[in-house]
Amino acid sequence: MEKIGKLERVIFHNKENGYTVGVFETEDEQFTVTGSFHDPNPGVKYRIVGEFKMHRKYGEQFNAESYEEVIPDDADGIRAFLAAGNVKGIGPKMANLIVDRFGKSTLDVLEQNPEKLLAIRGIGPKSLKVIAESFGETIEFTKISFSLRELGITMAQAVRIYKLYGGESLEVVKDNPYCLVEDIYGISFRKADEIAMKLGFEEDSEFRLESGVAYVLENFAQSGSTYMPKEQLLESTVKLLDVGSEQVEECLVQMIFQGKLQTDTIEETPVVYLYGYYLAEQSVAWHLAQIKEAHIDPLSADLDNLIQDAEKNRSGGIHLSEEQRGAVRQALTENVCIITGGPGTGKTTIINTIVYILEQLDIKVALAAPTGRAAKRITETSGVEAMTIHRMLEYVYSEDEHEMNFGRNEENPLEEKAVIIDEASMVDLMLMEGLLKAVKPGTRLIIVGDADQLPSVGAGNVLRDMLRSEYIPAVRLHEIFRQAGESLIVVNAHMIQRGEYPYANESNKDFFVMRRSREEDILNTVEDLFRGRLQNYYDFIHSGYDIQVLTPTKKGLLGTIHLNEVLQGVLNPPSEEKREKKSGSRIFREGDKVMQLRNNYMMEWKRDGETEKGKGVFNGDMGRIEGINPESGRVSVRYDDRVVVYENEDLMELELAYAITVHKSQGSEFPAVVMPMTWFPPMLMTRNLLYTAVTRGKNLVVVVGSEDRMHAMVDNNRIDERYTGLEYRLRQIDFGNTIG
């Protein structure tokens, strides 16, 4: 549907992504228009294409899929166009002076001979430059966006492309449409391939080959691997591009010479890295070696006496087992040490003891974890402020380099003489590299985590690789302390880890299996639990936030997508008192529990009660929608003590979080966990996935579904094997030390 008229008023405009809400008026109607506009100007005549849609909260709106500015061709129209402020440097008075002098030729003068404006009183060289650039940009974007739309690029994408490439947008896209995959979020390789075909690119174009290779490697990295066996890469790329393996081989050689890829041989297998992951693995191994081999100041008091003092005076007195004492000794005498163990094995007690001793010795300690929730939990249990690793490393935007960087690095290392990292299984390769660069040799580095949990969401298998290499001194905890006599969660977690079937349904315990066979019955039971059944029997303040559904997959009746729709209806149904916002097929409502889906280093946040602001929202962060602005459509989300405002285009990075995947739950702990149990793809039905889900529950775990399926997960000890080279590189260091 096409409408021609005037933009009467702009209600909201986001300069970053172009999203606009305005009032549009044609000859016979007035309505609200929404869509992506580069630089919307009231009073300007537009031709918009789209359709009317009914918003349940704001009524009928015209969703503009594309637009173009209708430039007036008569003197009065030009006068009104300029007087409306559509060209910077020209107001109503100046518009009259210009049109009085040039009449119908005014726009031709602005575009082709702007220097003639110098004849107008009040226009000098500086103001002429502003006017010419502003008018040129208006005309330029109109022409560029029209051409981009002919290639199948949406207006929202066209706005982002123009923001990045400016006047060269069309040339950049025509020269190499595959650059959009890397540069423009939301444009996939498939989309770029469609554009390239419209532009007449050949199937064996070097741009297509390079983009295809990078796409295959990046997809592989998203599953956690840092490299790919060369033969597998060749096979996958040939299948994707439908070209010969010789052509892909030649492309690999070219990309290696360009510094985009790196080849290596690991355990006699030729492999290929994206260069950034190769450098990161080398860097992590090198920095670990530097920290491990550096001179470290000895403790100024007898360690056994320090441990006894901690047992006597910390938190009213504690008693460490010999295993725990050994972990404390090793952590304080080694330069770098790993402490690993399952739930209830005393990792938190050990951390607290180490912190107490370091404070008694006046040694400054930094305590951090990968997520805000994990850091908050450490603070509550230790009494010492913990923070996220990103915050500790002062993650900031560099104006010089136009990218996010760690403020703490080799040139500006952390000042603390001891650094403790908890929940280390969540730390991926790139974050570990940033951390190690900031740890000055001579600092004690203590890494704590559960190696049996699922590995990090990002690429790498850092904790497991370090342990397997046997290069880093490590303590494995086996004795169970926390709630060992009362908690079946703790007991069952260790049973699962050993390959034994868990106990369930014991009176006054915390682990239950509600046996159901049909998926519809499982779903109905999960709903019933959230309608108050659990809240009536347990001290849960708010079932929507205290109870967390964990499931292996996004798809299907018991996947996160469908479960979130169902649970949103149960826990946060539509209400006249709650504003809501539609984004694609999803509806976000005030009060909804939500999760961030990707690392966004540019997203701004503000901390409660402080003037402190910062940037960075990270994959897996969970929060709650505090408010939705009815005019702008902005969505405000609270993440613990930070508030982040999402614009319309940012909502693709957000999803409901009443149900989340087990992978996304890492580093979190919930008062109660509910897990549907049915047939899921075999690659997901693994022992360590079940173990991770169970260990997320603090007070209660309820499995709803087939007990046989749960037992099958225990039997399936298929480890999420990733292709990572850190273990190999650390072993090479150790081997080099041995033979040296």
**Which of 696, 716, 712, 699 has its CA nearest to residue 493?**
696
- Across the range 71-81, mean pLDDT stands at 72
Residue 141 and residue 33 share a domain = yes
Residue 461 and residue 448 share a domain = yes
Q: Which residue has the higher pLDDT, 42 or 211?
A: 211
Q: What is the pTM of this model?
A: 0.74
Q: What is the pLDDT of residue 739?
A: 38
- 102-142: per-residue pLDDT in tens? 888 887 888 788 888 888 888 888 888 888 887 777 777 77
170 in any annotated domain: no
CA 491 to chain centre: 33
Where are the alpha helices (H) located in 298-339, listed in sequence order? 303-313, 322-333
288 three-class SS: helix
% of residues, the chain, pLDDT over 90: 46
- 218-266: per-residue pLDDT in tens? 989 988 899 999 999 999 999 999 999 999 999 999 999 999 999 999 9
- Across the range 437-461, mean pLDDT stands at 92
Residue 697 and residue 566 share a domain = yes
721 in any annotated domain: no
Partners of 606 in the beta sheet? Answer: 613, 643
Q: What is the pLDDT of residue 411?
A: 93
- 619-630: per-residue pLDDT in tens? 788 899 999 987
347 is in an annotated binding site: yes
**Which of 719, 718, 703, 717 has its CA nearest to residue 502?**
703
**Which of 217, 216, 223 has its CA nearest to residue 273?**
217
Residue 68 and residue 180 share a domain = no
Residue 147 and residue 87 share a domain = yes
198 is in an annotated binding site: no
**Which of 207, 198, 271, 199 has its CA nearest to residue 241?**
207
Q: How many CB atoms lie within 10 A of CB 658?
A: 25
Partners of 262 in the beta sheet? Answer: 273
Residue 56 and residue 24 share a domain = yes
Q: Given pLDDT bands bounded at 50, 70 and 90, which one contains residue 735? A: low
Residue 250 and residue 129 share a domain = no
679 in any annotated domain: yes
* Token output for 263: 């080849």
Nearest-angstrom CA–CA distance, 598 and 316: 43
Nearest-angstrom CA–CA distance, 540 and 535: 5
Q: Which residue has the higher pLDDT, 531 or 193?
A: 193
Q: What is the pLDDT of residue 738?
A: 43
- Across the range 161-167, mean pLDDT stands at 83
Residue 520 and residue 454 share a domain = no
Q: Which residue has the higher pLDDT, 18 or 198?
A: 198
Beta pairing class for 547-551 and 659-661: parallel
Residue 577 and residue 657 share a domain = yes
Residue 314 and residue 223 share a domain = no
User: Residue 355 is part of which domain span?
Assistant: 294-481
Tell me the HSE value of 647 on the side-chain side, using a 13 A CA sphere. 17
- Across the range 360-387, mean pLDDT stands at 85
Please provide the size of the chain in residues. Answer: 740
Residue 68 has pLDDT above 50, yes or no: yes
235 three-class SS: helix
- CATH no. for residue 689? 3.40.50.300
Helix (H) or strand (E) holding 282: helix 275-293
156 in any annotated domain: no
* Token output for 485: 């006599």
Residue 523 and residue 668 share a domain = yes
518 in any annotated domain: yes
Do 378 and 386 form a contact (C-beta atoms < 8 A)?
yes
- CATH no. for residue 188? 1.10.10.2220
CA 21 to chain centre: 27
381 is in an annotated binding site: no
- 187-212: per-residue pLDDT in tens? 889 999 999 988 989 988 999 999 99
Nearest-angstrom CA–CA distance, 88 and 528: 60
529 in any annotated domain: yes
- Across the range 146-163, mean pLDDT stands at 78
Nearest-angstrom CA–CA distance, 180 and 184: 5
Q: What is the pLDDT of residue 98?
A: 87
Nearest-angstrom CA–CA distance, 366 and 522: 45
Phi, psi for 36 (deg, rounded to 5): -95, 115
- The interaxial angle of helices 189-198 and 206-222, nearest 10 deg, is 170
Q: Which residue has the tokens 């149904």?
A: 573
Beta pairing class for 600-607 and 593-596: unpaired
Do 303 and 416 form a contact (C-beta atoms < 8 A)?
no
Q: What is the pLDDT of residue 322?
A: 92
Structural domain count of the chain: 4
105 in any annotated domain: yes
Tell me the HSE value of 646 on the side-chain side, using a 13 A CA sphere. 28
Do 40 and 13 form a contact (C-beta atoms < 8 A)?
yes
Q: What is the pLDDT of residue 258?
A: 92
Q: What is the pLDDT of residue 487?
A: 83
- 377-436: per-residue pLDDT in tens? 788 877 778 888 988 998 876 655 556 688 899 999 999 999 999 999 989 999 999 999
720 in any annotated domain: no
Burial 159-173 (b: 16+ CB within 10 A, else e): bbbbeebeeebbebb
Residue 580 and residue 678 share a domain = yes
- CATH no. for residue 104? 2.40.50
